[in-house]
Amino acid sequence: MSTAQGNKRKFEVYRYDPTQGGEGHFDRFELPVQDETCTTILDVLIRLQKEQDPTLAFRYACRINMCGSCGMVINGREGLACKTNVSDFPGDQTITLRPLNHFPVVKDLVVDMGPFFQSYESCLPFFDPKEPRQEPAIIRPDSEERQTIGLATECIACGCCVSSCTMVNCHPSYAGPAPLNRAFTLLMDSRDGLYEQRLERALASCYHCRTEFNCTEVCPKEISCTRAIKHIQRLAMKDPFRRREPAPDAASQAGPAPAAAEAADSAADPEMSRRRFLTGLTVGIGATSTLLVGGVLASTFAGPALRRKPPHWIRVGGVDAFPVGEVSTVRLTYAETNGFYTQDLVKPILVWRQPQAPEFVAYSSTCTHLGCTVRWDANQRLFLCTCHGGAFNRDGSVKSGPPPRPLDRLALRIDNGNLLVKMV
């Protein structure tokens, strides 16, 4: 027999019998394939049905990649059985054939494409001209519009993209890649009269795309539905304040009745109320986090200036260490904490011990003119500032030079024979 010739290939085909029910199972087949480069998976299925199991069910029509009937999952990847050759898989590999995901399985490899065409219809997949024409329209192939649409019109609605998408089954309102691609080709067409209605519906579903590119990877026609979906999303940005028409009259005239009814009761749709809830939640979370972050930033910048610093009482020295009638210079070392940051400060202060009460007077060494450090000149008996020649008397009053006011006095107290000054 001629079938005995050639390489024996192993196949696993998913079987589901609607009279038996259950989860379904894989049947193993072995088939000698003479020329693998000239044998498609569809050829294999036809031969298996003829030679080994006549109950095997699958769907096909054109056999030349035109009709999109034979879409299935071949070794984990969606594709057309008539476009995939046996030689695409290494000789020792078992080829697994399985129906498309996300569609009810009628029998074996045959799925119910009803849900697909339902969502296809929801995107208004038909051309509705703005103005009636007698002559065919002339479309320049190099026009920008035609270039943007590109090969997206080549879709044959095989359902491979929907099967590869991981989002269509999670979001009932998501039309899926192919329907949105169809909507894109018509939205880009300036002759089309249903722009508003179609955009409304496409925008209601296109944000469920997660940019996974699964549909682009598997498309037998090499169309990128992701590109189409991204285009639709950008259309929303083009004119966010466009007037929305509440009653799509043209759509209900031209379009199928269920599609219009679907739009009408979208207010009662749980998906819509869910979206409203999520919108509110997003706005709420955004506002809360803005307030929180803004509050933290504002208090970080404005806080230190507003905060009242607690006064430090710093020990200058024992009372006996200061000779009577003299001015002593003391370098105070203390730590100042500001928020998380603690810094060690060194500040000289000037202490005058008078013979009569009040015994002690402490001056800040900061010149009241521009903030240089003043020093005590014992010979002239003056506080001198070297920066601009300012001079202060021993009681702190200005003797000469530019200082506008006497030296600042520091509050002090005596505690247990120690002199303490208050530093702010």
> Which spans of this chain sit near other proteins (rule: CB under 8 A)?
14, 16, 18-24, 26, 73, 75-77, 96, 98-107, 110-112, 114, 117-118, 121, 164, 166, 169, 210-214, 216-217, 224, 226-227, 230, 233-234, 256, 258
By the 8 A CB rule, do 102 and 108 touch? no
In the complex, what is the shortest distance from the CB of residue 283 to other proteins, in angstroms, rounded to a whole number? 20
How many helices (H) does the chain have, and how many strands (E)?
11, 18
Q: Strand, helix or coil at 287? A: helix
Q: Which two tokens stand for residue 420?
A: 């303490």
In the complex, what is the shortest distance from the CB of residue 420 to other proteins, in angstroms, rounded to a whole number? 36
**Residue closer to other proteins, measured from CB, 214 or 368:** 214
In the complex, what is the shortest distance from the CB of residue 267 to other proteins, in angstroms, rounded to a whole number? 19
d(CA 17, CA 11): 19
**Residue closer to other proteins, measured from CB, 105 or 272:** 105
d(CA 303, CA 308): 10
- Which residues fall within 8 angstroms of residue 248, CB to CB, at 6 or more apart? 196, 197, 200, 255, 260, 263
Q: Which two tokens stand for residue 126?
A: 């038909």
In the complex, what is the shortest distance from the CB of residue 25 to other proteins, in angstroms, rounded to a whole number? 9
In the complex, what is the shortest distance from the CB of residue 243 to other proteins, in angstroms, rounded to a whole number? 25
Q: Render the burial of 120-137: b for 16+ CB within 10 Å, e for the rest.
A: bbbbbbeebeeeeeeeee
In the complex, what is the shortest distance from the CB of residue 121 to other proteins, in angstroms, rounded to a whole number? 8
In the complex, what is the shortest distance from the CB of residue 244 to other proteins, in angstroms, rounded to a whole number? 23
In the complex, what is the shortest distance from the CB of residue 4 to other proteins, in angstroms, rounded to a whole number? 28
**Residue closer to other proteins, measured from CB, 235 or 330:** 235
CA of 261: how far to CAs of 247, 249, 323, in Å? 11, 12, 101
Backbone angles phi, psi at 231, to 5 degrees: -60, -45
In the complex, what is the shortest distance from the CB of residue 73 to other proteins, in angstroms, rounded to a whole number? 6
**Residue closer to other proteins, measured from CB, 16 or 322:** 16
Of 164, 169, 167, nearest in space to 217 by CA: 164
- Which residues fall within 8 angstroms of residue 366, CB to CB, at 6 or more apart? 372, 373, 374, 408
**Residue closer to other proteins, measured from CB, 19 or 37:** 19
By the 8 A CB rule, do 381 and 405 touch? no
By the 8 A CB rule, do 97 and 25 touch? no
**Residue closer to other proteins, measured from CB, 124 or 349:** 124
Q: What spatial distance separates the first Cα and last Cα of the chain, rounded to whole Å?
A: 107
**Residue closer to other proteins, measured from CB, 233 or 393:** 233
Of 232, 254, 151, nearest in space to 187 by CA: 232
> Kind of pairing, strands 312-318 and 110-111?
unpaired
- Chain Cα centroid distance, residue 131: 41
**Residue closer to other proteins, measured from CB, 103 or 174:** 103
- Which residues fall within 8 angstroms of residue 179, CB to CB, at 6 or more apart? 116, 119, 120, 122, 123, 125
Length of the chain in residues, anyone? 424
In the complex, what is the shortest distance from the CB of residue 191 to other proteins, in angstroms, rounded to a whole number? 24
User: Across 191-321, where does the E strand assignment appear?
Assistant: 312-318
In the complex, what is the shortest distance from the CB of residue 147 to other proteins, in angstroms, rounded to a whole number? 13
